[in-house]
Amino acid sequence: MEIEGDFPGNPLKILYSGISFLQKWRLLLKPTDREEAMGVLKKLKTWVGMQRPKHVQVTDNEEL
């Protein structure tokens, strides 16, 4: 997936972009849809906050 010519190195960047989009556009929704969007935003923020990027160093060297 490519976003504006920049391939994300971390999959969480895609979720952060989605959260940002929802925050900007929720004001244009109907009040009932706005409440639903807020619920989705809250769930996404909670889930993203629980995720920790795994920084595993990959090497082709073996220990003997």
Structure tokens given for 39:
């619920």
Closest CA to 25 of 34, 17, 15: 34
Average pLDDT for the chain: 77
pLDDT, residue 30, reads 92
User: pLDDT by residue (tens digit) across 3-41?
Assistant: 566 676 777 788 888 888 888 888 899 998 999 989 988
Task: Map out the domains of the chain as residue ranges.
Answer: 12-49
SS3 of 7, please?
coil
pLDDT, residue 15, reads 82
Q: What is the pTM of this model?
A: 0.55
